[in-house]
Amino acid sequence: MLTIGTHMSIAGGLAKTAGNVVRMEADTMQIFSRNPRGSNYKVYEEEEIEKFQKIRREHQFKALLAHAPYTMNLASGQERVYEFACTVIREDVERMDRLGIEYLVFHPGSHTGIGVEKGIRNIIRGLDQAVTGQEKLMVLLETMTGKGTEIGARFEHLREIRDGAAHPERIGVCLDTCHVFAAGYDIVDDLEGVLEEFDRVLGLELLKAVHLNDSMMPFGSHKDRHAVVGEGEIGLDALLRILRHPVLKDLPFYLETPLDDKGHKEEIRMIRKKLEGAGCAEGDGM
């Protein structure tokens, strides 16, 4: 059974957002762990949290994903930027774990000139001061497009980060279909090859979540512009093959496509319909 949700705004509070997930007929959601472009976060009232957990329980939401803010750069060589990033990841691992959120995904960061190796060392140090090993939550490294000095456009980068961490068992990977495509992994014409490479470098057991996005930008462009499913360079057929693939189909999929809640509801409906139709025709027995 497909597990799918979208990135949701939490501007109206957690309980209201959970209600919107139900209305969207989604199974899960992604939310920002705090203000994505700033530094502040809301402290939720006990009542608000209880309401949220109740909706989540009653509607049997699947694994919830929190996304760390874009302003958090753990690879930075600038002290103030780095210290801020360390504080954010430490606080948000703790805050999201306390909310019972299953995964916290973050962009590994941009080294902005100090080089990939030093950048990776900073990321590892930042993770080590945030992850205690006592959490239920897992931190996920996101695959990136490699724009500018971004780290994480190669599976090898993510491997190095995880291998260097004090608690690698708390660290997994979130694959963004738009990002890997723009990074030069050919998920359109060689999905098998990309998955084999992922397995060889990282191990498929580390893959915990998929950001399901089409790409406005061409293959290998290293540019990060999400498109609605079926309206980009990846295309509907390739994305359906990903959704159906035996090693991927049981993962949670999160849309980060440029639509509002109403548009996302339609997008999810369309995807479910396409999957059901093809599932029967191909007789893959679900």
Q: Where does this chain bind Fe ion (CB under 5 A)?
A: 142, 176, 211
Which is nearer to Zn ion, 214 or 224 (by Cβ)?
A: 224
Q: Which does 150 bind (CB under 5 to 8 A by kind): Zn ion, Fe ion, none?
A: none
- By CB under 5 A, what part of segment 256-285 binds Zn ion? none
Tell me the closest approach of the beta carbon of residue 107 to Zn ion, in angstroms.
9
224 is an interface residue for Zn ion by CB under 5 A? yes
CA 215 to chain centroid: 15
150 is an interface residue for Zn ion by CB under 5 A? no
Tell me the closest approach of the beta carbon of residue 79 to Fe ion, in angstroms.
25
Q: Which does 224 bind (CB under 5 to 8 A by kind): Zn ion, Fe ion, none?
A: Zn ion
Closest CA to 175 of 193, 202, 148: 202
Q: Which does 160 bind (CB under 5 to 8 A by kind): Fe ion, Zn ion, none?
A: none
Query: Which are the contacts of 190, defined by CB distance < 8 A and separation ≥ 6?
Result: none
Cα 89 from Cα 77, distance rounded (Å): 16
Tell me the closest approach of the beta carbon of residue 104 to Fe ion, in angstroms.
11
Query: Which are the contacts of 23, defined by CB distance < 8 A and separation ≥ 6?
Result: 261, 265
Cα 71 from Cα 67, distance rounded (Å): 12
Cα 126 from Cα 147, distance rounded (Å): 22
Q: Which stretch binds Zn ion (CB under 5 A): 1-9, 52-60, 104-112, 221-229?
A: 221-229
Would you say 39 and 71 are in contact if contact means Cβ atoms under 8 Å apart? Answer: yes
Dihedral over Cα of 202, 3, 180, 160: its sign: negative
Tell me the closest approach of the beta carbon of residue 155 to Zn ion, in angstroms.
17
Tell me the closest approach of the beta carbon of residue 256 to Fe ion, in angstroms.
5
Mind giving me the DSSP string for 87-121? HHHHHHHHHHHHTT-SEEEE--EE-TTS-HHHHHH
Q: Which does 211 bind (CB under 5 to 8 A by kind): Fe ion, Zn ion, none?
A: Fe ion
Q: Which stretch binds Zn ion (CB under 5 A): 16-24, 113-121, 217-225, 274-282?
A: 217-225
Tell me the closest approach of the beta carbon of residue 256 to Zn ion, in angstroms.
7
Which is nearer to Zn ion, 150 or 224 (by Cβ)?
A: 224
Which is nearer to Fe ion, 97 or 142 (by Cβ)?
A: 142
Burial (Cβ within 10 Å: 0-12, 13-18, ≥19) of residue 145:
buried
Residues lying near Zn ion in the complex (CB under 5 A): 224
